[in-house]
Amino acid sequence: MERPSNSQSVLSYEEHGRKYASLRGEGEVYLPSDEKQFECFANTHMIYLILDSQRKNTLFQSPISEKAQYVLDIGTGDGNWAMDVADQHHNCTLPRRHESSRC
Protein backbone atom coordinates (compact mmCIF):
# COMPACT_ATOMS: atom_id res chain seq x y z
CA MET A 1 0.00 0.00 0.00
CA GLU A 2 1.34 3.42 -0.92
CA ARG A 3 1.25 5.67 2.12
CA PRO A 4 0.78 9.41 1.84
CA SER A 5 3.74 11.52 2.87
CA ASN A 6 3.49 14.78 4.76
CA SER A 7 5.63 17.04 6.92
CA GLN A 8 3.69 16.44 10.13
CA SER A 9 5.32 14.43 12.90
CA VAL A 10 2.58 11.76 12.88
CA LEU A 11 1.57 10.02 9.69
CA SER A 12 -1.90 8.46 9.81
CA TYR A 13 -3.37 6.05 7.29
CA GLU A 14 -6.17 3.50 7.07
CA GLU A 15 -5.84 -0.11 6.05
CA HIS A 16 -8.49 -2.85 6.19
CA GLY A 17 -10.90 -0.43 7.87
CA ARG A 18 -8.51 0.30 10.79
CA LYS A 19 -6.54 3.47 11.56
CA TYR A 20 -2.74 3.27 11.90
CA ALA A 21 -0.21 5.94 12.87
CA SER A 22 3.56 6.14 12.85
CA LEU A 23 5.99 8.84 13.92
CA ARG A 24 7.30 10.72 10.90
CA GLY A 25 6.51 7.66 8.80
CA GLU A 26 9.40 5.73 10.36
CA GLY A 27 9.06 2.00 10.75
CA GLU A 28 6.17 -0.34 10.30
CA VAL A 29 3.33 -0.24 12.79
CA TYR A 30 1.88 -3.67 13.56
CA LEU A 31 -1.12 -2.60 15.67
CA PRO A 32 -3.90 -0.15 14.84
CA SER A 33 -4.22 3.11 16.79
CA ASP A 34 -7.98 3.47 16.93
CA GLU A 35 -10.65 3.24 19.63
CA LYS A 36 -11.14 -0.48 19.08
CA GLN A 37 -7.44 -1.11 19.80
CA PHE A 38 -7.42 1.20 22.85
CA GLU A 39 -10.39 -0.75 24.23
CA CYS A 40 -8.39 -3.95 23.71
CA PHE A 41 -5.41 -2.43 25.60
CA ALA A 42 -7.67 -1.45 28.52
CA ASN A 43 -9.28 -4.90 28.66
CA THR A 44 -5.91 -6.66 28.54
CA HIS A 45 -4.58 -4.42 31.31
CA MET A 46 -7.61 -5.26 33.47
CA ILE A 47 -7.20 -8.99 32.82
CA TYR A 48 -3.55 -8.89 33.96
CA LEU A 49 -4.51 -6.94 37.09
CA ILE A 50 -7.08 -9.62 37.92
CA LEU A 51 -4.73 -12.52 37.14
CA ASP A 52 -1.97 -10.97 39.26
CA SER A 53 -4.30 -9.86 42.08
CA GLN A 54 -2.65 -12.23 44.58
CA ARG A 55 0.78 -10.67 43.99
CA LYS A 56 2.14 -7.93 46.24
CA ASN A 57 2.51 -5.60 43.25
CA THR A 58 0.18 -6.30 40.32
CA LEU A 59 1.89 -3.81 37.98
CA PHE A 60 5.36 -5.38 37.92
CA GLN A 61 6.64 -8.91 37.42
CA SER A 62 10.04 -7.92 38.75
CA PRO A 63 10.73 -6.45 42.19
CA ILE A 64 10.65 -2.66 42.48
CA SER A 65 11.92 -0.64 45.38
CA GLU A 66 9.54 1.66 47.22
CA LYS A 67 12.30 4.28 46.76
CA ALA A 68 12.40 3.94 42.95
CA GLN A 69 12.83 7.30 41.24
CA TYR A 70 12.26 6.36 37.58
CA VAL A 71 10.06 3.81 35.84
CA LEU A 72 10.32 3.61 32.06
CA ASP A 73 7.19 3.10 29.96
CA ILE A 74 8.40 1.45 26.74
CA GLY A 75 5.22 1.73 24.73
CA THR A 76 2.90 -0.29 26.95
CA GLY A 77 -0.26 0.77 25.14
CA ASP A 78 -2.59 3.66 25.75
CA GLY A 79 -1.06 4.78 29.04
CA ASN A 80 -3.26 2.92 31.57
CA TRP A 81 -0.30 1.04 33.02
CA ALA A 82 1.79 4.21 33.34
CA MET A 83 -1.07 6.07 35.03
CA ASP A 84 -1.55 3.22 37.51
CA VAL A 85 2.18 3.22 38.29
CA ALA A 86 2.10 6.99 38.83
CA ASP A 87 -0.87 6.60 41.19
CA GLN A 88 0.97 3.99 43.29
CA HIS A 89 4.47 5.52 43.18
CA HIS A 90 4.03 9.27 43.67
CA ASN A 91 7.78 9.99 43.80
CA CYS A 92 8.57 8.29 40.49
CA THR A 93 9.16 10.02 37.20
CA LEU A 94 7.79 8.11 34.22
CA PRO A 95 9.64 9.13 31.05
CA ARG A 96 7.99 7.53 28.04
CA ARG A 97 9.90 5.99 25.15
CA HIS A 98 7.80 5.44 22.04
CA GLU A 99 8.43 2.05 20.48
CA SER A 100 9.39 3.53 17.11
CA SER A 101 11.99 5.98 18.41
CA ARG A 102 15.63 5.13 17.83
CA CYS A 103 17.75 4.68 20.97
DSSP character for 6? -
User: Which H or E run contains 18?
Assistant: strand 18-23
Could you tell me which residues are beta bridge partners of residue 21?
12
Confirm whether 26 is domain-assigned.
no
- Say how far apart CA 54 and CA 75 lie, in whole Å: 26
Confirm whether 8 is domain-assigned.
no
Work out the number of other CB atoms within 10 angstroms of the CB of residue 92.
14
What was the pLDDT predicted at 96? 62
What was the pLDDT predicted at 1? 46
Number of domains in the chain: 1
What was the pLDDT predicted at 86? 85
What is the tens place of the pLDDT at every residue in 35-88? 999 999 899 999 999 999 998 888 888 888 878 888 888 776 778 888 888 888
- Say how far apart CA 15 and CA 13 lie, in whole Å: 7
Confirm whether 11 is domain-assigned.
no
Confirm whether 21 is domain-assigned.
no
What is the tens place of the pLDDT at every residue in 6-25? 445 667 788 888 888 776 55
What was the pLDDT predicted at 46? 92
What was the pLDDT predicted at 66? 79
CA nearest to 103, candidates 27, 36, 8: 27
What is the tens place of the pLDDT at every residue in 42-53? 999 999 999 999
Confirm whether 102 is domain-assigned.
no
CA nearest to 25, candidates 38, 44, 12, 40: 12
Confirm whether 49 is domain-assigned.
yes
Q: How many CA atoms lie within 13 A of 78 on its CB side?
A: 17
Confirm whether 66 is domain-assigned.
yes
What was the pLDDT predicted at 19? 86
Domain hosting residue 63, numbered range: 34-88
